[in-house]
Amino acid sequence: MKEIKIGLIGWGTVGAGVTRILQKNSALISRRLGARLRLVRVADLNLKRDRGMKLAPGILTRDAARIIEDPEIDIVVELIGGLDPAEGMVISSLRGGKRVVTANKALLAERGKTLFREAGQVRRRIFFEASVGGGIPIIKIIREGLSANRISSILGIINGTTNYILTRMSEEGITLAAAVRGAKKAGYAEKNPALDLEGIDSAHKLALLSSLAFGGWADFSRIYREGINEITDEDIAYTAGLGYTIKLLAVAKQSPSGADLRVHPTLVPRRHLLSAVNGIFNAVYLEGDFSKSQIFQGEGAGQGPTASAVVADLMEAGREILSGNDSTPPFIATDRDLKLAPIGEVVCRHYLRIPVIDRPGVLARIASILGAGGISIDSVIQRQRYKRGLVPVILMTNQAREKALQTALDKISHLEVVRGTPVRIRVED
């Protein structure tokens, strides 16, 4: 049976999972592929840490160049993460005639335009299923299963850490800080979880999904982004009473003014399937012109699901090698940039929580400012006093343009009766 030789750079949690799958399911993989995937070399700076498995003598090395420069290796798996030196390793591997499999969403989102162009020039491909959605094969679904469709919108819960945190806050009534501590203790959050909490990780993934779905390169640096740092247990409780769940949502929509790409906390109606996606699970909701609405759900992180996606890419790259096909273009087109819609032009409903001094006429003053900006109020909830005599005024607006709402909020925040910054959460109905 033909052998396809693999070099693995980065033997951390996911790398160890890849090794485990290749060992445990070797016969199954060979039967389905028609060739043997053979791991011939593994590079990592830490060779002493116990991964719970043994490798044959001579496989382990601290020198990644022994993989990149080996002419016998067919596929390089890059799992070290980050931008440098990962970018140089990927480029060198491609120029050496190798196919590359990676889970590095940050690298592809921020420097992918260069990398995919390089792959096209040398007639090699970068496979990146594991970069988005963990065990959900969403990349393959978009580029193959839905390839006959014009995809009009994507709504994604694509960060398991923040979804776990928001779920804990919702189910247990705890604060954000307590939920973050719980996520760290459970191993779902890094020591510094800023990439997750600030929406950066979700924006990386959204850049890849929208580039793939909309047929042009999405500039990650221009994707609007808000994290969950300002979400409180009070907001969780108030919005639940209105029939909504708060999710950190990645949104991509085709609009007349361009691709509307954004990541932010969002109120999702409880009747929507995304509202029931809890814990570390991810889900992606797609709308195509012929496929209509579809949702795909699975574990979005963890050793097993991510390693499974990496090995699936290894098998696809292996089939490409077996077929002798070296002319297939890169999965993402880099010859044109997506025109992005300005965030100020986005139109949606909003939830507002405004902390005010309990005085007569406060609500009328707020309503007057909103009305002057062309923003109508759908409903009002005025809660009991809390925190040093303040009262939270809860408003749900009708459809409003982002720019107009922000202008109105700036004026409201300067009222002498308002204490603190008004909280705004967009609604996705």
Buried b (16+ CB within 10 A) or exposed e, 137-162: bbbbbbeebbeebebebbbbbbbbbb
Q: How far apart are CA 124 and CA 25, in angstroms?
A: 27
What is the Cα–Cα distance from 363 to 199, expressed in whole angstroms? 33
| Catalytic residue check, 54 | no
Report helix, strand or coil for 416. coil
| Alpha-carbon torsion angle 147, 150, 154, 159, nearest 10 | 20
Residues 6+ apart with CB under 8 A from 187: none
Alpha carbon 429 to its chain's center: 21
Query: 333, 215 in Cβ contact below 8 A?
Result: yes
Which is nearest to 311 in space by CA: 110, 24, 54? Answer: 24
Structural tokens at position 154:
């994507």
Which own/partner pairs from 64-69 qualify as long-range (CB within 8 Å, at least 24 positions apart)?
64/9, 64/89, 66/41, 67/7, 67/8, 67/9, 67/41, 67/43, 67/93, 68/7, 68/9, 68/92, 68/93, 68/96, 68/98, 69/96
Active-site position among 98, 105, 113, 205: 205
Contact 312, 25 (CB under 8 A): no
| Amino acid symbol at 248 | L
Task: Show which residues are catalytic.
Answer: 205
